[in-house]
């Protein structure tokens, strides 16, 4: 199935030109089934369903009609062509949403969510965009907005009605409340890291010594031959990127050039690029040749010095240590991965929270791709990906950071016993940022709350 | 040129009317003030007090510009308080309790001695309209008086109805009849006219009160008169007000009788002020608490009437008698006049320009409660602005509009003409986004240039203004340039002040910026401080506030892009995609000057401002594209 939407004044008349089966009097939200014809009316194009929407009751807020036809791209193209011939023009990307926003059918956050929905690449971000659309983020921020207005109402009432017989919140109460708002805004802001991952995808960088099987691992994951695999060290000169889905999240898995000293200039450039790729990694998949692992006297395992050095150089991203060619080490095959992790860790000066998992694998094994994917999915639990009001948009992030900074400034002022008329400026600034985020106008909300909350007057 | 009896007619002699006719006659225009009661000029119909937060600010602004309210308030002051004196200077507000009889008398004398001004008793029934141009007024005796401009300041008198219990009496105030006819004429002309409500408490007989059961509340020792014309100390004896509270018994009686309150049985249709609810409202909305406080305020040194602040009511007389007696101190109280509510017509203020001239009718200006405001100060401020603008339009001078960043008066009028109002509009400091800049102490610095251009001040005052400004500037300059060195002699004094030692030489300004240091301490460190608080205080505040003011300006800059985006007056809002019919109608009515003003109109959503911005941008683009293609050779 494919859907086409015609929106704007006289949409119904326009569609009727191609759908003569439609009655003169159309009902909104009612499905009509019939054959769509070309303009000359001499050829049936497809049997379709037409859904008309009355002005004010459609997604865009305009009179509109949706046509559902069979899903062949060629068919869709022909119907589009006929619609254009009948007077329609092709919508710009996101134009329906823009109209919907301009007609007040969706708010700014919702509109941006729809745009993200259109652009999202994977299920997970589609779900997340849907969450925002339903206003999960909006509701969360509206709650914070309301709390902030409460604080401002108490501050302003204390200033403008200091003579009135009213109990405004004491500074300690205000401080506690503001602190809690700060924490919650911080939480929303923190979700941005996870949110970015969802929207732009995860960056997984595979690194390690030459010829340890990095490309084989990537291929296993992508289940297609993206990188040239050969047994000559240094085959991968440029980072090779494969986009795939990991646990419903779109990921860019980057295979980097083997890390080694080289005199080959082209290869050296490749290595420089690879270093850059590693710097932006969310996950560093560090591959070593299991056959080259050294045994310690206490039964521990030790990476060779070159590996250790390389690992130390790479950036702060958490590390998934892959022991490839495990088939060459039957002694390790008997151990659980947790046991291997213990044994490896002993001889490494890597911080606890960076080395998260070990994966023992044979990249040439047919199950290696599945195993690798499984390890990565477990890795993702590091990120807040619950989709619960996660910030995904940089405009949102900017506003939320603005709200946070002003709020912190206000708290600092309160701590320094500075006047509430100054604190109020920062809080209003913070409130304005939240309201911008919601696409709301900064208005008399504070005074309205003052009148609601307090008994004033002569 | 038509011939006129007067240049200007001012209808009404309340606080707005007074400032309006003093301004026009002060500019030399032949002015007639018409009022239905010549005995009640500048009458304080409600509380016997002037100023307060935001309001005191406006009184000072008015004083610098040439208004009279502040001077007469000082002259009749029987108690002075600076509200929020323990808070920062921007949110301090001066308030006086006034002898209302003396206030009215003083104003009357002031008007009678004013050159170019005539007073006349009579009720204005109608305006003389020629098409959409106002040419004068028709009185109740049928006589016509022609003038070039008319200013209406009718207060609560337009179709005023007083409510006491379920009993209704036409009138704008006890003892004065309502003005019938005028607002109907405006309605017929096409003005949107709506109803508002306000109320006033009972007046009590002083001798019947048991004062021992109340707590006296004294004024401040330190006095800051409103006016530059006033002496530094008030001349009248200063008296206390007294505090008492309602009791559970009071609430019981009121609750039992709510069905007799016109507000609660639906007789009153007008909206009352949320910040000034009746005692019925307080009890219904906020319950018993520990009683609601009330101040017993003397109305005058020469009468025995006490104003019962906090207890405005429209319950029937017998219920008022009953519940008043349950308030400590009022057990045997004798009521001189009962409280009542009054409902009146006002003109939805989005129908007037910033200059307070109406949009539909030329040469007609409105000021005060007729524009939906509440309060003597709000009225006086508008009266003054309407007076100046009526005069300026008559003289062919440019309009007089104060910015939101220049004065509370500017905030007041911009709010009214942009947003309109649903309840009687009162000023609060929180309405001013430039609150840190709009202070009482710097009203003179903000407005003296503007005032000199208006030219209402007499030469003595102009001299005083110049002198104060010169001394303030001189002091600020010396603080900025003179330096304090870390000599051993200074170090000892500085250590005594309990502030960290100097590590290098600093200017006195830098030193004064330390929170624990006050300007009076600089004397000890060899700085010649001006001891006149009129000079030293504002300069000190400016120094201490500068960091915050800068931060506020930064924030304002962010909003400014909307303020600077002009909307051409020829714009047809019907052509803008994405506006609702309601928004189109509101925008057409207000005709905002800027996108910022458009955004402040209530009922105009942010999406509409976006839509407008998009429209303006694409339109400008199209125009640019058009002019570009004209420059190219034709295709």
> What would the DSSP string read from start to end of B580-633?
-HHHHHHHHHH--SBHHHHHHSTT--HHHHHHHHHHHHHHHHHHHHHHHHHHSP
> Under a CB-based contact definition with an 8 Å cutoff, are residues B325 and B333 in contact?
yes
Q: Does A92 touch chain B (CB under 8 A)?
A: no
The reply to whether A440 touches chain B by the CB within 8 Å rule is: yes
Largest Cα separation within chain B, whole Å, is: 96
Separation CA B416–CA B306 (nearest Å): 33
CA-based nearest distance B126→chain A, Å: 35
Asked if B431's CB is within 8 angstroms of A421's CB, the reply is: no
What average pLDDT does chain A have? 77
Write out the H or E segment, with its range, that includes residue A270: helix A265-279
Measured CA to CA, the distance from residue B629 to residue B343 in angstroms comes to 61
Q: What is the pLDDT of residue B561?
A: 65
Q: Which tokens hold the place of A364?
A: 């040439």
pLDDT value of residue A458: 44
* Exposed/middle/buried for residue B558 (C-beta within 10 Å: 0-12, 13-18, 19+): exposed
The torsion angles phi and psi of B99, rounded to 5 degrees, stand at -75, 105
Q: Give the integer Cα–Cα distance in Å for B365 and B151.
A: 5
Classify burial at B326, counting beta carbons within 10 Å of its beta carbon; exposed 0-12, middle 13-18, buried 19 or more.
middle
Q: Which residues of A touch B609 (CB under 8 A)?
A: 441
pLDDT band at B634 (very low <50, low <70, confident <90, very high): very low
Q: What angle do CA B613, B614, B620 make, to 5 degrees?
A: 90
Are the C-beta atoms of B80 and B219 separated by less than 8 Å?
yes
Average pLDDT of span B490-501: 90
Task: Residue B437: name the closest of B411, B456, B467 by CA.
Answer: B411
| pLDDT (0 to 100) of residue B268 | 80
- Count CB neighbours of B153 within 10 A: 32
**Percent of chain A surpassing pLDDT 90:** 19
- Mean per-residue pLDDT, A97-108: 71
For the residues A391-420, what does the mean pLDDT come to?
83
The pLDDT of B501-526, averaged and rounded, is 90
pTM of the complete model? 0.73
Of the candidates A263, A274, A290, A260, the one whose C-alpha atom is nearest the C-alpha of residue A227 is: A274
Kindly state the average pLDDT of the residues B95-114.
97
Confidence check: pLDDT of A227 > 70: no
**Lookup: tokens for B530:** 């001006």
Paired with A243 in beta bridges are A252
Most confident of A400-409, B375-384, B425-434, B516-525: B375-384
Q: Do A162 and B83 touch (CB under 8 A)?
A: yes
Chain segment A331-353, per-residue pLDDT in tens = 777 778 888 888 877 777 666 66
Q: Which residues of B are less than 8 Å from A163 in CB distance?
A: 52, 83
Q: Which residue has the higher pLDDT, B526 or B1?
A: B526
Instruction: Kindly report, residue by residue over A259-280, the tens digit of the pLDDT.
Output: 555 556 666 666 676 666 666 6
Q: What angle do CA A151, A157, A161 make, to 5 degrees?
A: 170
In this complex, is the C-beta atom of A446 within 8 Å of any C-beta atom belonging to chain B? yes
SS3 labels along B166-213: CEEEECCECCECCECCHHHHHHHHCCCEEEEEEEECCEEEHHHCCHHH
Q: Which of A255-264, B26-35, B535-544 has the highest mean pLDDT?
A: B26-35
Give the pLDDT confidence of B110-149 residue by residue, as tens digits.
Answer: 999 999 999 999 999 999 999 999 999 999 999 999 999 9
B603 pLDDT tier (thresholds 50, 70, 90): confident
The verdict on B599 touching A (C-beta cutoff 8 Å) is yes
pLDDT at A202 over 80: no
Judging by DSSP bridges, how do beta strands B124-130 and B49-51 pair with one another?
unpaired
Give pLDDT, residue A277.
67
For residues A454 and A367, which has the higher predicted lDDT (pLDDT)? A367
- How far is the C-alpha of B469 from the C-alpha of B465, rounded, in Å? 6
pLDDT digits (tens, 9 = 90+) for B175-231: 888 888 999 999 999 999 999 999 999 999 999 999 999 999 999 999 999 999 999
Residue B450 CB neighbour total at 10 angstroms: 15
List the one residue out of A64, A63, A83, A66 whose CA is nearest residue A75. Answer: A83
CB atoms within 10 A of CB B215: 16
Tokens of A157: 């009432």
> Residue B596 above 80 pLDDT?
yes
Taking CA atoms, what residue in B is nearest to A443? B600
Which pLDDT does position A219 carry in this prediction?
A: 80
Q: How far apart are alpha carbons B582 and B601 in whole angstroms?
A: 12
Q: Is the pLDDT of residue A92 over 80?
A: no
- Say how many Å lie between the first and final Cα of chain A, rounded: 68
Mean pLDDT of chain B: 90
pLDDT tens figures, B384-430: 999 999 999 999 999 999 988 899 999 999 999 998 898 999 999 99
pLDDT, tens digit, for every residue of A129-154? 555 655 677 788 889 999 999 999 99
**Is the predicted pLDDT of residue B284 greater than 80, yes or no?**
yes
**pLDDT of B68 over the 90 cut:** yes
Three-state DSSP class for residue B118: strand
- Sorting pLDDT into bands at 50, 70 and 90, what band is B583? confident
Which whole-number Å values give the CA distances from A291 to A233, A325, A331, A341, in the listed order? 16, 7, 11, 16
Q: What is d(CA A136, CA A123) in angstroms, rounded to the nearest whole number?
A: 18
Dist CA B185 CA B150 (whole Å): 15
Number of CB atoms found within 10 A of residue A33's CB: 10
Partner-chain contact B276 A457, CB within 8 Å: yes
Nearest CA among A188, A152, A178, A177 for reference residue A409: A178
3-state SS, one letter per residue, for B380-419:
HHHHHHHHHHHHHHHHCCCCCCCCCCCCHHHHHHHHHHHH
The number of C-alpha atoms within 13 Å of B33 and in the hemisphere containing its C-beta is 33
User: What per-residue confidence (pLDDT) applies to A228?
Assistant: 41
pLDDT value of residue B631: 38
- Chain A hits for B430, Cβ within 8 Å: 156, 159-160, 424, 446-447, 450
Mean per-residue pLDDT, A408-431? 91
Render pLDDT for A307-328 as a digit per residue (tens, 0 to 9). 877 777 665 677 888 888 888 8
For the CA atoms of A331, A334, A336, A338, the dihedral, rounded to the nearest 10 degrees, stands at: -20
Model confidence band, residue B153 (pLDDT cutoffs 50, 70, 90)? very high
Q: Nearest Cα to B518, choosing from B493, B497, B501?
A: B497
- Beta-bridge partners for B80: B96
pLDDT of A257 > 70? The answer is no
CA A304 to chain centre: 38
Chain A to chain B Cβ contacts (< 8 Å): 101
**Judged by CB atoms within 8 Å, which residues 349-378 of B form the interface with A?**
none
pLDDT at res. A294: 79
- Would an 8 Å CB–CB cutoff place B286 in contact with chain A? yes
pLDDT value for A94 = 64
Q: State the distance between the two ends of chain B, measured CA to CA, in whole angstroms.
A: 55
Query: In angstroms, what separates the C-alpha of B94 from chain A's closest C-alpha?
Result: 12
What integer is the mean pLDDT of A279-291? 81
Q: How many whole angstroms separate alpha carbon A389 and alpha carbon A267?
A: 44
A407-430 b/e (C-beta count within 10 Å ≥ 16 → b): bbbbbebbeeeebbbbbbbbbbbb
Residue in the block written with tokens 């937060």: B53
Provide the 8-state DSSP code for A248.
T
What's the pLDDT band for A191 if we cut at 50, 70, 90? confident
Residue among A7, A82, A111 at smallest CA distance from A52 = A7
Furthest-apart CA atoms within chain A: distance in Å: 91
Q: What is the CA radius of gyration of chain B?
A: 27
Mean pLDDT of B154-166: 93
């Amino acid at each position: 199935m494919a859907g086409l939407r015609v929106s704007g004044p006289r949409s119904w008349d326009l569609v009727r030109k191609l759908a003569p089966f439609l009655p003169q009097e159309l009902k909104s939200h009612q499905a009509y089934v019939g054959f769509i014809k070309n303009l000359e009316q001499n050829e049936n194009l497809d049997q379709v369903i037409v859904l008309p929407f009355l002005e004010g009751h459609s997604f865009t807020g305009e009179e509109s009609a949706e046509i559902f036809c069979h899903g062949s791209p060629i068919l869709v193209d022909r119907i589009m062509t006929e619609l254009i011939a009948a007077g329609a023009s092709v919508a710009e990307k996101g134009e329906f949403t823009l109209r919907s926003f301009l007609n007040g059918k969706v708010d700014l956050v919702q509109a941006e969510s729809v745009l993200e929905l259109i652009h999202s690449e994977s299920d997970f971000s589609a779900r997340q965009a849907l969450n925002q659309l339903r206003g999960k983020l909006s509701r969360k921020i509206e709650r914070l907005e309301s709390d902030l207005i409460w604080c401002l109402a108490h501050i302003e009432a204390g200033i403008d009605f200091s003579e009135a017989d009213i109990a405004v919140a004491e500074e300690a109460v205000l401080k506690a409340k503001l602190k809690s708002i700060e924490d919650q805004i911080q939480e929303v802001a923190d979700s941005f890291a996870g949110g970015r991952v969802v929207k732009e995808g995860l960056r997984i960088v595979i690194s390690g010594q030459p010829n340890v099987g990095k490309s084989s691992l990537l291929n296993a994951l992508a289940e297609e031959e993206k990188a040239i695999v050969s047994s000559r060290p240094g085959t991968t000169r440029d980072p090779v990127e494969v986009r795939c889905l990991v646990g419903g999240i779109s990921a860019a898995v980057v295979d980097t050039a083997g890390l080694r000293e080289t005199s080959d200039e082209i290869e050296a450039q490749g290595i420089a690029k690879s270093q850059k790729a590693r710097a932006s990694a969310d996950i560093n998949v560090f591959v070593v040749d299991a056959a080259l692992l050294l045994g310690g006297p206490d039964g521990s395992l030790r990476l060779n010095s070159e590996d250790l050095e390389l690992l130390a150089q790479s950036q702060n991203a958490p590390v998934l240590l892959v022991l490839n060619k495990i088939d060459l080490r039957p002694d390790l095959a008997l151990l659980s991965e947790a046991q291997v992790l213990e044994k490896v860790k002993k001889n490494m000066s890597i911080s606890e929270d960076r080395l998260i998992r070990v994966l023992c694998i044979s990249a040439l094994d047919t199950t290696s791709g599945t195993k690798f994917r499984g390890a990565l999915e477990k890795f993702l639990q590091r990120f807040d990906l619950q989709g619960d009001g996660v910030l995904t948009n940089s405009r949102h992030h900017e506003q939320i950071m603005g709200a946070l900074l002003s709020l912190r400034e206000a708290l600092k002022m309160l701590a320094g016993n500075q006047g509430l008329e100054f604190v109020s400026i920062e809080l209003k600034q913070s409130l304005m940022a939240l309201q911008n985020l919601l696409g709301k106008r900064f208005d008399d909300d504070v005074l309205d709350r003052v009148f609601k909350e307090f008994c004033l007057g002569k | 040129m038509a011939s006129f009896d007067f240049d200007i007619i001012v209808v009404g002699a309340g606080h707005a009317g007074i400032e309006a006719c003093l301004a026009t006659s002060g500019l030399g225009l032949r002015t007639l003030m018409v009022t239905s009661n010549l005995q009640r000029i500048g009458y304080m119909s409600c509380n016997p007090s002037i100023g307060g937060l935001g309001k005191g600010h406006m009184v000072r602004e008015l004083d610098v510009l040439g208004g009279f309210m502040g001077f007469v308030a000082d002259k009749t002051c029987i108690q002075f308080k600076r509200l929020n004196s323990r808070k920062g200077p921007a949110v301090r507000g001066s308030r006086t309790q006034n002898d209302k009889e003396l206030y009215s008398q003083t104003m009357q004398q002031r008007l009678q001695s004013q050159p170019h001004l005539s007073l006349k008793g009579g009720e204005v029934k109608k305006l003389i309209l020629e098409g959409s141009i106002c040419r004068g007024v028709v009185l109740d005796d049928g006589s016509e008086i022609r003038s070039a401009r008319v200013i209406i300041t009718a207060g609560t008198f337009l179709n005023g109805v007083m409510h006491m219990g379920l009993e209704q009496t036409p009138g704008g105030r006890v003892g004065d009849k309502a003005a019938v006819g005028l607002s109907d004429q405006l309605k017929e002309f096409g003005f949107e006219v709506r109803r508002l409500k306000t109320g006033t408490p009972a007046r009590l007989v002083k001798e019947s009160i048991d004062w021992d059961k109340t707590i006296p509340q004294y004024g401040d020792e330190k006095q800051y008169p409103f006016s530059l014309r006033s002496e530094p100390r008030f001349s009248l004896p200063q008296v206390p007000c007294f505090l008492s509270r309602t009791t559970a018994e009071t609430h019981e009686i009121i609750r039992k009788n709510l069905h007799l309150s016109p507000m609660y049985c639906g007789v009153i249709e007008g909206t009352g002020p949320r910040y000034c609810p009746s005692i019925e409202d307080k009890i219904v909305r906020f319950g018993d608490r520990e009683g609601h406080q009330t101040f017993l305020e003397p109305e005058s040194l020469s009468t025995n009437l006490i104003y019962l602040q906090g207890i405005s009511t429209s319950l029937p007389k017998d219920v008022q008698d009953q519940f008043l007696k349950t308030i400590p101190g009022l057990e045997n109280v004798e009521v001189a006049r009962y409280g009542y509510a009054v409902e009146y017509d006002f003109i939805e203020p989005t129908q007037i320009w910033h200059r307070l001239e109406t949009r539909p009718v030329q040469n007609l200006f409105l000021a005060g409660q007729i524009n939906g405001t509440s309060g003597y100060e709000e009225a006086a401020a508008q009266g003054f602005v309407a007076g100046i603008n009526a005069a300026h339009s008559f003289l062919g001078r440019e309009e007089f509009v104060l910015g939101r960043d220049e004065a509370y008066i500017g905030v007041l009028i911009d709010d009214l003409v942009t947003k309109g109002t649903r309840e009687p509009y009162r000023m609060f400091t929180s309405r001013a986004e430039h609150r840190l800049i709009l202070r009482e102490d710097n009203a003179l610095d903000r407005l003296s240039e503007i005032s000199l251009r208006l030219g209402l001040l007499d030469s003595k005052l102009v001299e005083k203004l110049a002198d104060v400004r010169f001394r303030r500037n001189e002091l600020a300059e010396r603080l900025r340039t003179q330096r304090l060195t870390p000599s051993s002699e200074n170090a000892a004094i500085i250590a005594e002040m309990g502030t960290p030692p100097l590590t290098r030489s600093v200017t006195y300004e830098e030193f004064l910026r330390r929170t624990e240091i006050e300007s009076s301490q600089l004397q000890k460190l060899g700085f010649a401080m001006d001891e006149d608080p009129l000079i030293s205080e504002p300069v000190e505040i400016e120094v201490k506030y500068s960091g915050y003011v800068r931060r506020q300006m930064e924030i304002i800059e962010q909003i400014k892009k909307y303020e600077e985006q002009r909307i051409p007056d020829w714009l047809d809002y019907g052509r803008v995609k994405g506006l609702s019919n309601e928004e189109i109608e509101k925008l057409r009515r207000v005709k905002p000057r800027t996108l910022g003003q458009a955004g402040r109109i209530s009922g105009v959503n942010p999406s509409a401002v976006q839509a407008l911005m998009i429209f303006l941008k694409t339109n400008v683009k199209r125009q640019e594209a058009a002019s570009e293609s004209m420059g190219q050779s034709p295709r």
